[in-house]
Amino acid sequence: AFWLIVHKFALDAIDTFAYIITTAMLLWLASGLLLLGLMVALLRLVLRRFSGSVSYEELHSAKAAEALVAEEEFHRQPLWDGYVDSSELAAWLREAKPGLVVVDVRDFDFARYGCKISGARHAASKLLLQDMSPLRSALTGDEGRTVVFHCMFSQFRGPKCAQEYARLVRGSGEGSGGGAQQKVLVLRGGFVEFHRAFGEAHDKHLLFEALDDTEKKKDE
């Protein structure tokens, strides 16, 4: 009977020890996986911050938004003159096209990339749509013969601002040589597409300029 008790006690001790070891290993494995997940998330965040890449979720949201804005007036009956591709805008910037003005209407996302298209005027869409007159007054004479609007993806804010600007300028007959002669365009794909195409170009210093501290603070 004594040896039976000892044997049972030994088996119970072994089972308990095995349970403790198994639990400890599972906890160690779980903590390792959690740490790995955090490291991957941090790495993705760093890569996105410095490469300017767009996540699947953002791209999916952008595509969904495209369907929602398809029926907006600025797509159904645009008063602006159409799209300009990133390659064409880059060529204009490289040759210093006379009368070219780029208007960046991004709002909260303006400082995300830490840079903007070279020479671009920043006018947040939220404020610009409330009052276009300062921009209209600034784009007179030889400046503003070709005005290119863009936001992050040029799906809603960019086209909407271009629509309202064209409506105001052409309705009043103002602009460079008259509103009808001022070409109002939208950058296809927005800043994201332009940055993807030329963010690593050999002459990127001609196509982009860094945001100064004042511009960054405005976006915070």
CB 99 within 8 A of CB 143: yes
How distant is the alpha carbon of residue 101 from its chain centre? 20
CB 82 within 8 A of CB 182: no
Say what percent of the chain tops pLDDT 90.
Answer: 47
Where does 71-219 sit in CATH, by number? 3.40.250.10
Q: How many Cβ atoms are within 10 Å of 173's Cβ, its own excluded? A: 9
Residue 189 gets the label, from left (phi > 0), alpha (psi -120 to 50) or beta, of: left
Q: How many Cβ atoms are within 10 Å of 3's Cβ, its own excluded? A: 7
Burial class of 105 by CB neighbour count within 10 A (0 to 12, 13 to 18, 19+): buried
C-alpha–C-alpha distance, residues 162 and 105, integer Å: 10
**What's the confidence (pLDDT) of residue 56?**
47
pTM passes above 0.95: no
**Tokens for 186?**
């939208």
Torsions phi, psi for 102 (to 5 deg): -105, 130
Q: Compute the CA torsion angle 27, 29, 34, 40 (nearest 10 deg).
A: 170
For the stretch 143-175, pLDDT in tens is: 778 999 999 999 999 999 999 999 998 875 554
Kindly report the average pLDDT of the chain as a whole number.
81
Structure-model confidence comparison of residues 2 and 136, the more confident one: 136
